[in-house]
Structures are given as structure tokens and as C-alpha cells.
């Protein structure tokens, strides 16, 4: 028997145009899933689909702003019209923000909340009814900031704390419908976003900041998107059928070993 086989399953992945979401989409397609790539950036979503199709995988792209409920409802309805149902929903779409409570404006707070909290709410709400018929798996991307204090990440930490507790609530409410709901809490992962963030916020000090951020994980480096994707694959596969209502740190020792 082939482990972690997703053949015949339909997977919907938000934020799959780049970074962790893209790595998850590619891994799921390689294991046989039909992947629906949802991303605010249409060009990036199409690039992910092209990469998957080039490797003989099945994938389709949809532009989506997860913070807009009507858009989410329409996209999920369109996917359901083409499939027998959604087997896997992975919520990767989200944004970052730097600032303490003093430097975070109400607009900052609302922007982060709309993307990171309401975005996941909208997607789970739109998919849950169809999942109730045949069961399914929901995986949310939380963060180490869900569990520990991170300096100058007030709004971001608020949003990721909500992701964790929404995950637990959905896991509890839908366990009897054969729906499993878990979340992953990565530490820093090296993506295009991280490179852009460092370049925009620390011009001229890119290498210094990259090394500093890498060293904040006791293991001595940032994670790789592919490493997160492998954990996502396990949690969304039948091999994890006994796992629900759990948060999985994947953090190079950040939570337990930083002291």
C-alpha cells in the first residue's frame, strides 16, 4: 500500500500561489489529489498550476480574496459544481504585521483580522456543509505566535491565536460528522515573502537580518516550505485518521528550547 496516497481526493488550498501554500499544493498533487489553487495573485496561482501540470498533476487556479465572504462562497460553489465534494481544505492565505499595541492602528488591526481570521472563517463556513455529507479534513496555518509571545507582533499574534481556537472549535463541533480539523504552527520559514520583508524593512542589512532571524530557531536555520508541506500531507492523509483538534508546532525547537 502506498502511504499518504491522496488519489481521488479533491484538495482546496488558499494562498497556494507561493511559499508554504504552493509547496503544499505541489506535494498534494504529487500524491494524486486534484488541487484547486486559490490565491489573491492570479499570476502566481497560474504559475503553481503550471508547475503541477508540468509534473502530470491535476490542478486548477482561482483568484480569491479570502477576506470577502461573497467571493469565497462563489469560488467554493464553483468548485463543488465540478467535483463530488471537497475532501481537504487547507487555509494558508494570510498576511503579516509588525507592531506593538501602541503602534498598531485600528486600520492595521482590521486588515490583519479580515485576512487571517475572517478569511479562514469564510473558507471553513463555505466548505463545511459539503464536508458533512462525506467527511473531510481541514488544516489551518497557525503560528508559533499562537502559543508564545513574539515581540512587536500584536495584531499578527491576535490573529493566529484565533486560528488555533477556531481550529479546536470546529474539531469539537464536527467530529461526529467525520470531519477532522487540525492546525500547524510554523516558526520562521524561508519563503519569497521573508526575502521581500527583509529587503523592504532592513535595506542594506539583508544578510545580517536573515542570519539573525535564522538563528532565532534553536536548530540554527529557518524552515523550508517543503518541510511544512510534508507535515500537512500527513495530517490530511488517511494515515492521520486518529488526529483531530491538534496543533502541531514545526519550529526548529523555538517553543520548547528557547530559554
Could you list the active site residues? 156
Rounded Cα gap, residues 74 and 64, in angstroms: 10
Phi, psi angle pair for 256, to nearest 5°: -90, -25
- Give the whole-angstrom CA distance, residue 67 versus residue 49: 22
Question: What's the grid cell of residue 29?
Answer: 498533487
Nearest by Cα to 92 from 51, 139, 144, 127: 139
Phi and psi torsions of 131, nearest 5°: -65, -30
Contacts 24+ apart (CB under 8 A), 191-199: 191/18, 191/19, 191/20, 191/225, 192/18, 192/19, 193/18, 193/19, 193/96, 194/222, 197/96
Cell of 190: 524561508
C-alpha cell at 11: 484538495
Spatial CA neighbour of 121 closest among 145, 104, 138:
138
Inter-residue contact 4 to 239 (CB < 8 Å): yes
**Whole-angstrom distance, CA of residue 121 vs CA of residue 165:** 12
User: Where are the extended beta strands (E) located within 94-238?
Assistant: 136-141, 179-186
Amino acid at each position: 500500500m502506498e502511504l499518504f496516497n491522496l488519489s481521488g481526493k479533491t484538495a482546496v488550498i488558499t494562498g497556494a500561489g507561493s511559499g508554504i501554500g504552493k509547496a503544499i499544493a505541489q506535494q498534494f498533487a504529487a500524491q494524486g489529489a486534484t488541487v484547486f489553487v486559490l490565491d489573491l495573485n492570479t499570476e502566481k496561482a497560474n504559475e503553481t498550476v503550471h508547475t503541477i501540470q508540468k509534473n502530470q498533476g491535476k490542478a486548477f487556479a482561482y483568484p480569491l480574496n479570502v477576506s470577502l465572504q461573497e467571493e469565497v462562497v462563489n469560488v467554493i460553489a464553483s468548485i463543488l459544481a465540478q467535483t463530488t465534494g471537497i475532501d481537504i481544505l487547507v487555509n494558508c492565505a494570510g498576511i503579516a504585521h509588525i507592531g506593538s499595541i501602541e503602534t498598531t492602528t485600528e486600520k492595521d488591526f482590521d486588515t490583519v483580522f479580515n485576512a487571517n481570521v475572517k478569511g479562514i472563517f469564510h473558507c471553513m463556513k463555505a466548505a463545511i456543509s459539503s464536508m458533512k455529507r462525506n467527511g473531510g479534513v481541514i488544516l489551518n496555518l497557525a503560528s508559533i505566535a499562537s502559543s508564545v509571545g513574539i515581540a512587536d507582533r500584536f495584531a499578527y499574534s491576535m490573529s493566529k491565536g484565533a486560528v488555533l481556537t477556531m481550529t479546536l472549535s470546529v474539531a469539537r463541533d464536527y467530529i461526529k460528522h467525520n470531519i477532522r480539523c487540525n492546525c500547524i504552527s510554523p516558526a520562521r520559514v524561508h519563503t519569497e515573502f521573508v526575502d521581500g520583508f527583509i529587503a523592504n524593512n532592513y535595506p542594506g542589512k539583508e544578510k545580517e537580518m536573515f542570519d539573525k532571524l535564522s538563528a532565532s530557531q534553536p536548530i540554527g536555520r529557518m524552515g523550508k516550505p517543503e518541510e511544512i508541506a510534508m507535515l500537512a500531507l500527513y495530517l490530511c492523509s488517511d494515515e492521520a485518521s486518529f488526529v483531530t483538534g491538534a496543533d502541531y508546532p514545526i519550529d526548529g525547537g523555538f517553543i520548547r528550547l528557547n530559554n
